[in-house]
Amino acid sequence: MKNSIKYGIRLLATSTLFFSVFCTFAQEKDNDLPLIVNDIIEDHAQNRNEETDYSRLIDELNFRLRNPLNLNTAKEDDLRYFIFLNDIQIRDILNLRNKLGKIDNLFQLQLVESLSFQDIQNLKHFVYAGPLIEKTSGKLKRSLHYGRHDIFMRYERTLEQKQGYKPLSGSHLSESPNRRYLGSPDKYYLKYHYRSRNIRWGINAEKDPGEEFFKGTQPLGFDFYSGYVMVEDIKWLDKLIIGDYNMQAAQGLAMWSGLSFGKSSGVASVRKQAGGISPNTSMSEFGYFRGIAVEKVLGDFYTTVFYSRTKRDANINSRDTLGDYYYITSLQQTGYHNTESLVKNKDAVNEQLLGGNVFTKFGNLKLGVTAYAFELEMEMETPAQLYNKFDFSGNRQFVNSLDYEYNLRNIIFFGETAYSGNNAWGTLNGFIVRPVSGVFLSVLHRWYQRDFQSTKGGAFGENSANQNEKGLFTGLKIQLNRRITFNAYTDLFRFDWLNYRVDAPSCGSEYRLKMEYTPSRKWNADIRYQYEHKMINRDIENVIINKPGDRKKQRFRLNISWKATKWLKLNNRAAWSFMNMENQEPQDGWLLYQDILIRPDDKPYAFSFRYALFNTDSYDARLYAYEHDVLYAFAIPAYYYQGFRTYLLVKYELSKTIDFWLKIARSQYTDRTSVSSGLAKIDKPAKTDVKLQIRIKF
């Protein structure tokens, strides 16, 4: 409904000329998500090893780029998608609206003290000050008519031949069938989705490099298919998803699937913004649910119920010689099925899950309950290691949690306490406060027992699983004025049990300081320093008991971006890392790059170019840097060893309905003769990736 009205307004209020300007403007912005989004994603990637799919976030932000949110009708939850805003800022915006009655134009946002210049600039991309229309329930027919279709087709390939693609003689192959990739090195990606105010649907399909396509082990073509249909606000139905979906509740201690941000430089990120159920639009082959999920407001109770039945990739073993008793040794999350053994593990085990979430509000207090139970087809028995002694085993788990949020003047308290069926607890409590204007402080305490098993959770923590961890995080943001912002955090944590590669109880700390300087629209700069101390096993061979040693990592970076003209933007970065591990030589690394971004408003093309030089002593001293990529792909490569990397990204708008992207990226190493190891090994000191993408929207 909102959509259709907005379309109407646009048609009435704008001349064709204005309309075309708007279109190119919107186009231009497609690839130009606010810097903060890149920043947050880059931060996030630094703390993770596996690749994460940021589709959902980009989806939402892109949707809002095209369909800006009306600030006068926006609900608190709508604003939460703007991850660069924190809760107090969101509340202040809503308070301003209440005070003024109506926000007439976006300049009035400057009245919100807690918003910095940069926040307002970021927000302007996604919102507008529209009329005060009441939200009305949508009509299916209209919704079908005013929606938008998007089709993405992507092709990717590494040009150099990897070890796994080399021909292997028949005898070698029968001896060790896993020494070869099954299919071609091409990657295909297909994504179709439709979105309107009340209805959405979509299909994702992907073939990873090395997987077969329409033959052999993949008779259905793509290795991975995913799809969903979702209806929203139609008649009595608040939200219904059939197909693949994600579920996020409270602070994520019990239930959190899909994108999740850990520590990042923002105070805001400490409190998670649960999105409830949402369709799974990502290509991640793990972590989503498949089934049916319903959201319904019953009086004052916001209720969600979900059921899922999926197949998971797993490594299966049999215990007795007859092979009657099967059990799972590990669940796999990579989604790669490019060797014989990986194909064997594909969809090896059934998982069923049933759960629900209810929350209600009493004035300033919000209370919620989450509960779910899941069952695996077979027992899980991870190989006995001391560090995973308290991990999930068996085939059933029940987890429930209680969460709260309380708003007291300029403080928001929040927390969640969860119980896992094996009689273990985890709890997380904190607050965000704005003691005076321009200052935000956040404090978060977490306490997870070593045997707490929230297998579907994803709450704040240093470890990837919310288990065996105690810690206190404090974050501080100071907006000195509209130009200068400081961001700092400290996090101290301890693990009372062993961790992977840490053969003793250990503790650690992390500090970060960031200063942003935005003197004008023309340019901005930021400086960042990060220090991390953790304990990890020392690299000593032939010892029975390894004693963890201190590992200190420091990173420093300076970033300057400069908008030279309307169509030319330059971006420079210098980054340095330093690692000090007990019993080892200190290692350091640096990275320097120049970005050139050309985006003429009135031309159908845009270019991004980077030249980067890097030199690190080891993989451990690696540095990450966000890279522009084709829409929906997020590249945050790690730069390590010695060499240079260049990429060129071209976007061409063939017509109003068709966009085209091409990216060529090449890393060349000067200190070695081959890249990678194992099946991915390349016998040349270079790696070249080509990516092609077409989007059709109508």
Partner 1 sequence: MRKTVFIVFLILLAGHNNLFAQYDGSSSGGRSAAMGDAAVTSADVWSILNNPAGLAENQKMSAGIFYEMRYNIADFSTRGAAFQLPAGRGNFGIAFSVFGISAYNEKHFAVAYGRELFPEFKGGISFDYLHTHLNDESGQLTANKGILTFQAGIQYKLTDKTGIGFSVFNPYSARLSDYENEYIPAIARLGLDYKAADHFLIVLEAEQNIKYNLRIKGGLEYEIKDRLMARGGVKTNPAEYTFGGGIKFMGITFDFAFAYHLVLGYSPYGSFQYQF
**Which positions lie near partner 1, rule CB under 8 A?**
435-439, 441, 443, 472, 474, 476, 478, 488, 490, 492-494, 507, 509, 511, 533
Task: Please state the closest distance from residue 533 (CB atom) to partner 1, in A.
Answer: 8
Nearer to partner 1, 484 or 696 (CB): 484
Nearer to partner 1, 418 or 444 (CB): 444
Task: Please state the closest distance from residue 531 (CB atom) to partner 1, in A.
Answer: 8
Task: Please state the closest distance from residue 620 (CB atom) to partner 1, in A.
Answer: 21
Exposed (0-12), middle (13-18) or buried (19+): which is 151, by Cβ within 10 Å? middle
Nearer to partner 1, 128 or 529 (CB): 529
The residue whose two tokens read 């929606």 is: 147
Task: Please state the closest distance from residue 509 (CB atom) to partner 1, in A.
Answer: 4
Task: Please state the closest distance from residue 463 (CB atom) to partner 1, in A.
Answer: 15
Nearer to partner 1, 84 or 440 (CB): 440
**DSSP conformation class of 95:** H
Nearer to partner 1, 2 or 533 (CB): 533
Distance of CA 59 to the CA centre of its chain: 11
How far apart CA 628 and CA 661 sit, in angstroms, is 11
Please count the other Cβ atoms lying within 10 Å of the Cβ belonging to residue 571: 18
Nearer to partner 1, 229 or 507 (CB): 507
585 contact partners, CB below 8 Å, separation of at least 6: none
Task: Please state the closest distance from residue 178 (CB atom) to partner 1, in A.
Answer: 44
Task: Please state the closest distance from residue 576 (CB atom) to partner 1, in A.
Answer: 18
Query: Taking the CA of residue 85 as centre, how many other CA atoms within 13 Å lie in the half-sphere pointing to its CB?
Result: 29
Residues β-bridged to residue 649: 608, 663
Task: Please state the closest distance from residue 469 (CB atom) to partner 1, in A.
Answer: 12
Nearer to partner 1, 192 or 511 (CB): 511
Task: Please state the closest distance from residue 588 (CB atom) to partner 1, in A.
Answer: 18
Task: Please state the closest distance from residue 548 (CB atom) to partner 1, in A.
Answer: 12
Nearer to partner 1, 168 or 488 (CB): 488
171 contact partners, CB below 8 Å, separation of at least 6: none
* Cα four-point dihedral sign 233, 235, 240, 243: negative
Complete DSSP assignment for 236-275: TEEEEEEEEEEEE-TTSSS-B-S----S-S-SGGGS----
CA separation, residue 12 to residues 458, 487, 602 (Å)? 47, 44, 23
CA separation, residue 657 to residues 27, 46, 59, 573, 654 (Å)? 11, 36, 18, 35, 8
647 contact partners, CB below 8 Å, separation of at least 6: 608, 609, 610, 627, 628, 663, 664, 665, 666
Task: Please state the closest distance from residue 508 (CB atom) to partner 1, in A.
Answer: 8
How far apart CA 89 and CA 39 sit, in angstroms, is 19
- Please state the φ and ψ torsions of residue 207, each to the nearest 5 degrees: -120, 120
Task: Please state the closest distance from residue 498 (CB atom) to partner 1, in A.
Answer: 16
Task: Kindly provide the residue ranges of all beta strands, DSSP E only, lying in 313-410, ordered along the sequence.
Answer: 314-318, 326-331, 349-362, 365-380, 394-408
Nearer to partner 1, 26 or 488 (CB): 488
**DSSP conformation class of 136:** -
Pair of tokens at residue 635: 């590249």
Do 459 and 272 touch, CB atoms closer than 8 A? yes
Nearer to partner 1, 332 or 580 (CB): 580
Task: Please state the closest distance from residue 532 (CB atom) to partner 1, in A.
Answer: 11
Pair of tokens at residue 384: 């006995």
- Please state the φ and ψ torsions of residue 470, each to the nearest 5 degrees: -135, 140
How far apart CA 114 and CA 90 sit, in angstroms, is 9
137 contact partners, CB below 8 Å, separation of at least 6: 1, 233, 234, 235
Nearer to partner 1, 291 or 505 (CB): 505
Do 661 and 156 touch, CB atoms closer than 8 A? no
Nearer to partner 1, 443 or 650 (CB): 443
Nearer to partner 1, 73 or 474 (CB): 474
Pair of tokens at residue 48: 């993770």
Nearer to partner 1, 152 or 493 (CB): 493
Do 181 and 166 touch, CB atoms closer than 8 A? no
Q: Give which of 403, 414, 326 is closest to 369, Cα–Cα.
A: 403
Task: Please state the closest distance from residue 516 (CB atom) to partner 1, in A.
Answer: 17
How far apart CA 154 and CA 657 sit, in angstroms, is 16
Q: Return the amino acid letter for 368.
A: G
